[in-house]
Amino acid sequence: MRYEHHGRLTLADKARADYVYLPFEAPPGAESISVSYGYSNPMPADESWGGNTIDVGLFSPGDLGFPCRNFRGWSGSFRQEVHLGLGRATPGYLPGPIEPGRWHVQLGLYKLSQAGCDYHVVVDVEVSPAEKKAVLEGQRRATPASSLSPAVSKFPSPRWLRGDLHSHTHHSDGSNSLKELTDYARARGLDFLAVTEHNTVSHLPCLHEYDSPGFLALPGEEVTTYYGHANVWGIKEWVDFRCRRVEEVQVAAAAARAQGGLFSVNHPKDGGPPWCLGADLDFDCVEVWQGPWWLSNHQSLAWWDELLSQGRRVVAVGGSDLHRVGTPDHPYSHELGNPTTWVYASELSVAAIVDALRKGHVFLSRDVDGPRLELQATATGSSQPVMMGDPLTMGAGQGLRLEARVEGGEGCLVRLISSRGEERRDLVEHGSQRFEYVVAPRESTYYRIELIEPPEADLNQEPAALMVQAMSNPIYVAL
């Protein structure tokens, strides 16, 4: 059975809604669905020279309202043909039974030119003999891919683990398979890697096939709206990405947390693409550092600092946003683990890593073998220090002592940052060094540290001159 849709999309359509849904019927006994599409004046998603970018997804029968549970796949504009069946599916799509009823092809109106866009969509539904379907059903029941459980590595005591919180494979717009990417992550020395495919969870059922002793694949999704991106980690099910308003983003964040996960705003900076939904919503983390530092990450850092100065407690994280493993013949500007997010966890498990991220027991470094730093704080008269991410309640008359430890930062500068801005700047003269600061707790609501290269210009006048090698999360001070 074949269905064809032809039409025209304009900026007025985009103003009304970000998505168009094209219906087709799957009769009883349907075995597979194939979708192909094309449109006029196509333009890559990362370009903005005046063409069109139309995304594609697929929903099974049911309510299309936000949020919904009948998602069957998404490939953005990365593929022009997709296939879905009981035992197999194009990466980005969920294999399984083809339920009879009204299905919908989803067209995402990412970018439309002033001239508008003509599109055509062809859907082929194949109906199988009943006996063939019965065999396939038996195979599916015998080998449920979703039965996999994540690995857990127990530790005698908590330790620092290094990971990358942002990466892609061919389940969205990456070039590598899950095996290729996780093999490379292990070779790079990472303890964990979050695989955060754009708007799909087709990778989750098989993700933990690639766990091994000392390495964990962390389940995630990049909730890729047309107004900003966000990562969710520690999820078990799809989080609806069709957000246009802040209230809808709040629903998506709540859905991630209901699964035990976290919601993190991605790359709020020029070219990120930027976050256009503001800060007036509840999120757990901010991707302060995406890819090489020079990619405008000083803007993300400034945005996060502004949140801190307003009294928000939001955890700073980083991720490479890797889409392809570079080779000598075909290098890539991003490297897995650039930056590296270090978490202080009680074990190598999904729950423990997510818990450490939630608490802010986190620092960032430029690479897997980059400088390391830690920050602790102690109130005078107390012998119990707190670490990065923790609050410290001060009694009347108590002073505050901060201790920073730096490994591998020789020749760099340590900056002590508070809600008032830069407090101190000290040269790291040795490969391993400690710095102590005694501060008045009433003068700031938080303290954090950065390890930076000696700047070539006044940072107040040229913020882009800031070159960070490592940075901590804050310690929060309350009276």
Q: Give DSSP secondary structure letters for 74-101.
A: EEETS-SEEEEESS-B-TTB--S---SE
pLDDT of 130: 57
- Domains of the chain, by residue range, sit at 2-143, 145-370, 371-479
State the amino acid at position 279 in one-letter form: A
pLDDT of 31: 95
Q: Give DSSP secondary structure letters for 270-333.
A: TTSPPP-S-S-S--SEEEEEESSTTTTHHHHHHHHHHHHHTT---EEEEE--B-S---SSS--S
The single residue listed with the structure tokens 């955060």 is 196
CATH code at 2-143: 2.60.120.380
Q: Give DSSP secondary structure letters for 406-460.
A: EES-TT-EEEEEETTEEEEEEE--SSEEEEEEEE-GGG-SEEEEEEEPPPSS-TT
Residues of the chain with pLDDT under 50: 131, 134-135, 138-147
Helix, strand or coil, per DSSP, at residue 73: strand
Helix (H) or strand (E) holding 14: helix 11-16
Which of 385, 389, 398, 445 is closest to 417 using CA atoms?
Answer: 445
In sequence order, which residues have a C-beta less than 8 Å from that of residue 461 and are 6 or more positions away? none
pLDDT of 148: 62
Q: What is the DSSP letter of 356?
A: H
Q: What is the DSSP letter of 395?
A: P
Give the model confidence (pLDDT) of 157-206 as tens digits: 899 999 999 999 999 999 999 999 999 999 999 999 999 999 999 999 99
213 φ/ψ angles, rounded to the nearest 5 degrees: -55, 120
CB 198 within 8 A of CB 169: no
Which of 329, 336, 340 is closest to 289 using CA atoms?
Answer: 340
> Model pTM?
0.93
CATH code at 371-479: 2.60.40
Determine the Cα–Cα distance for residues 356 and 360; give it in Å rounded to an integer: 6
pLDDT of 152: 80
Contacts 24+ apart (CB under 8 A), 177-181: 178/203, 178/206, 178/207, 178/209, 178/210, 178/217, 179/210, 180/325, 181/322, 181/325, 181/336
CA dist 350 → 133, 144, 191, 346, 353 (Å): 36, 21, 12, 11, 5
Give the model confidence (pLDDT) of 59-83 as tens digits: 999 999 999 999 999 999 999 999 9
Which of 299, 285, 404 is closest to 341 using CA atoms?
Answer: 285
Pairing of strands 81-85, 101-111: unpaired
36: its two tokens: 């192909």
Is 145-370 CATH 3.20.20.140?
A: yes
Give the model confidence (pLDDT) of 295-309 as tens digits: 999 999 999 999 999
263: its two tokens: 């919601």
pLDDT of 49: 78
